[in-house]
Chains A and B, each alone.
Chain A
Amino acid sequence: MNRETLLKQGGIWAFIVVELIFFSVAGEYLSVSDKAFMDFDNMLLLLKQSAPIGIIALGMTIIMINGNIDLSVGATFALAAIVLLDSMTWPFMAAMGDWAIPLAWVFALLTGVILGAINGLIVWKTGVDAFIVTLGSMLGYRGLVFMYNGEQPTSHLNWTLVDFAEAQFLGLHTATWFLLGTAVILWLLMTKTVHGRNAYAIGNNREAAVNAGIRVGPHFLINFMIIGFLAALSAVVFYSESGSVNPNDGMLYELWAITAVVLGGTKLTGGYGSIVSTLGGVIAIQLLRKGLGHIGADTETVNLVIGLILIAVLFLDRQLNRKGKEELKI
């Protein structure tokens, strides 16, 4: 890694270190509890809690590198969760005992892949901007969620599933393993494979990619299927434990995911970005939430502060970048 990329991608980790120091020191004076902020269990919990949005944000990173965006992930998340929980109550599934669990997962993940494929196919075949397409599908998929069970929550608690979700392996929770595993696989995909290379090229300069003989559409489709899968995976991880889904669950997840991705330095215009930095962005946001809570701030304040910090960080990034500075002066 050369110095330039180190500077660009190191920023988010430096920010995380600043947060840790700040909250540890501030926590000494302001904390509502006696526990230290940088408590080991606290940090493990933080990783677990960042998994649901984190897994989606990792998927959002590859979509944005490719030059697209997906606003429908929150609704996909909710719909996959309903399929997961409801399918286990179907008579033939109930008859299978615990063997219904892997099958329910497959149904849920398949739901995500199909919803993602619908987005991808529309973007590919119509050429309509992904923002518009997924804005539509965000509303549409959410409509499906409500059609399923009206305003009622869908619930099914399976204790084997809960045990699995709450298990810890080598100290890390199941959800954390899924988050890290997703990060490793997507990192390999984006940095080592032909698909990743072409996705960067398409996002950076679509015309040059076409002129180099790259088929743009299939890459779009694959990436939308991946993020659909990941939104469903996120639901699988989260609802295995909670066992109950409200029709409004997952709302604004798309925006939290985009926030984490952008905080990690990925550009909205495509062609730039890194999975590892997004992981940093996810952790930074979760640290902020937990840290602010630790020093006694309420949820409303937390959102306000995160919003301000997002803008401040991106402004700083722009100031550090010479070109941006010149443009500002004109």
Chain B
Amino acid sequence: MTDQTPALRLEGIVKTFPGVRALDGVSFTVMPGEVHALMGENGAGKSTLMKVLGGIYDPDEGQIFIEEQPTVMTSPMQAKAKGVVFIHQELSLADELSVAENIFLGELPLKSLGRVDWAKLYSQTDAILKTLNVGFNAKTRVGDLSIANQQMVEIARALTVDPRAVIFDEPTASLTDAEKVVLFDVIADLQAKGVGIIYISHRMEEIFKITDRISVLRDGQYRGTLNTSETNEDEVTQLMIGRSLDLSRNASHHELGDIALEVRGLSCGDLFRDVNFNVRRGEVLGFYGLVGAGRTEIAETIFGLRDPSAGQILLNGQEVRISSPIDAISHGISLVPEDRKGQGLVLGMNCRDNMTLPQVDDLTAGPFVSDGAEIAIFDQYRDKLDIRTPGWRQTVGNLSGGNQQKIVIGKWLSMRPEVLIVDEPTRGIDVGSKSEIHNLIRDLAAQGYAVIVISSEMPEVLHVSDRIVAMFSGRVMREFTSEEVTEDSLIQAISGITGDKVA
């Protein structure tokens, strides 16, 4: 590798914002045909670095080289013309346009008088799609494609130039396992063509599966580059957070209480069928399965956001009818949703108001909301959950993901719920805060709460759960205790391989 010209090289990049040194002399090199992981906690400087590379920010110091030619980036379009292409986590496609129009948006092939050369457009697009081996064609409307296929359109867009380097930013965030395999094939193809690839992800499994080298950023500083084959997750994590992350199994040592929530034969159309489970006080019940297995939908049904087509929900042995979140809340059922920013928080509001939102009705003195009562609740749960914020006036949108999640959890704990359902508790939260959230969930169980945790991350489910429900395609495949569960048996169960099915 050493005698090759690097596809892309960054040297001594410095970028400061008022009061923050976001990038502090970051250097790293991507060789042609290499998959180079860029890792770091949220706020470590990954996105700032990519914005410098894409010409959105001008670096204060430092130099970018493409094939050893010093280059100044002025815009993402210009970066693309120079062969540096970004595949963003958030897709930016026009739903109503065709695949071909999206791919060549802004550079449609033209005939005289500015008319679009449709024949050429479709033939060029089909040529690119063929190299990607996808199951749709140039004329498909983008809005009709799955998320995974839309991502393929983004990748196809990158291939309209002859790229030197392609940057993937959290590309698997919303993909199923099968879709990931397809994506990794495409990355391998690019690699074989000698394209340098920067792969940004929080997911260790993927990093170790597909990358050649790993560079780590921490607090805007370059912390080193490791050869993937010569390192392990611990070493990388230590480099990222300065210590290692505890993901050992963690069954409860305290006595479990009575059954708090029981679900019998719950079904909801095609989403899930005949689901049975229960959760006791003091217990963490994990739900594991692929995206689309019906886990979130079960949670939403219990919380009153969906109407079940059959089945019963029993709370403390009594059947309850829940047809709206208002019913669920009044029965003591709380949901910390999957999409924290979209469903859990009012981002423009301050911390205190977010935390007291469901119970502000009960915090009045005369016609007005009582400031004192609200601040008392906020202070209590800020201390209890160790929420780090300058004060209750802080706008929630300005907090880190981990602290935002704690606000949502605090919101429900202050209602003293019977059952707390947490959907993807650490999605989008950096490694350091992850273990805090995990410990918090274990603590809540120890205090006697019945907790249901839904997660797509196996280490997380194994780490926090006393029992694990494995789901596949809307059905409960198997229930494991934390003593009997193995990674293999869990994977088999969520892939629909029944094996020794236990009823």
Contact = CB atoms under 8 A, between A and B. Distances in A.
B343 A211 contact: yes
Given A211-B335, A211-B337, A194 B343 contact: no
Given A197-B369, A207-B342, A212-B357, A272 B56 contact: no
Contacts of B353: 197, 200-201
Interface residues of A, number: 26
Contacts of B361: 194
B254 to A, nearest CB: 30
Interface in B457-495: none
Given A194-B361, A197-B353, A272 B393 contact: no
A16 to B, nearest CB: 26
B368 A200 contact: no
A318 interface: no
A214 B393 CA distance: 22
A201 B367 contact: no
Interface string B358-375: 101100100111000000
A207 B411 CA distance: 16
A45 interface: no
B76 interface: yes
Contacts of A211: 303, 305, 325, 335, 337, 343-344
B134 interface: no
A188 B342 CA distance: 29
Contacts of A210: 325
Contact of A194 (B303, B369, B411): B369
A209 B342 CA distance: 10
A272 B348 contact: yes
A208 interface: yes
A35 interface: no
A246 interface: no
B368 A208 contact: no
A198 interface: yes
Given A200-B349, A204-B349, A212 B411 contact: yes
A113 B76 CA distance: 53
A271 interface: yes
Interface string A51-65: 000000000000000
Interface in B402-456: 411
Interface residues of B, number: 32
A271 B346 contact: yes
B347 interface: yes
Contact of A213 (B75, B325, B346, B395): B325
Contacts of B349: 200-201, 204, 271
B357 A205 contact: no
Contacts of A200: 346, 348-349, 353
Nearest to B300: A211
Which of the listed residues A2, A4, A211 has the most CB atoms from chain B within 10 Å of its own CB? Answer: A211
A329 B303 CA distance: 42
Contacts of B75: 329-330
Interface string B375-388: 00000000000000
Given A197-B353, A207-B342, A215 B364 contact: no
A62 to B, nearest CB: 16
B345 interface: yes
Given A201-B349, A205-B347, A210-B325, A193 B368 contact: yes
Contacts of A272: 348
A272 B75 CA distance: 32
Contact of B360 (A2, A198, A205): A198
B337 A215 contact: no
Interface in B104-153: none
Contact of B343 (A188, A208, A329): A208
Contacts of B348: 200, 204-205, 271-272
B326 interface: yes
B167 interface: no
A193 B367 contact: yes
B13 interface: no
A193 B369 contact: yes
A212 B358 contact: yes
B326 A213 contact: yes
B167 to A, nearest CB: 16
A204 B346 contact: yes
Interface string B330-344: 100001010000111
A125 interface: no
Nearest to A4: B395
B43 to A, nearest CB: 16
Given A198-B360, A213-B325, A192 B369 contact: yes
B8 interface: no
A34 interface: no
A214 B357 contact: yes
Interface in A161-219: 188, 192-194, 197-198, 200-201, 204-205, 207-215
25 contacts: A2-B393, A4-B395, A188-B368, A192-B369, A193-B364, A194-B360, A200-B348, A201-B349, A204-B347, A204-B348, A205-B345, A205-B346, A207-B342, A208-B342, A208-B344, A211-B303, A211-B305, A211-B335, A212-B329, A212-B411, A213-B325, A213-B329, A271-B349, A326-B56, A330-B76
Q: Which 10 residue pairs of A and B lie closest in terms of their CB atoms, listed nearest first?
A: A192-B368, A213-B329, A212-B357, A212-B358, A204-B348, A204-B346, A213-B326, A205-B346, A201-B346, A271-B348
Interface of B: 56, 75-76, 303, 305, 325-326, 328-330, 335, 337, 342-349, 353, 357-358, 360-361, 364, 367-369, 393, 395, 411
Given A194-B369, A329-B75, 4 more contacts: A200-B348, A204-B347, A212-B411, A213-B328
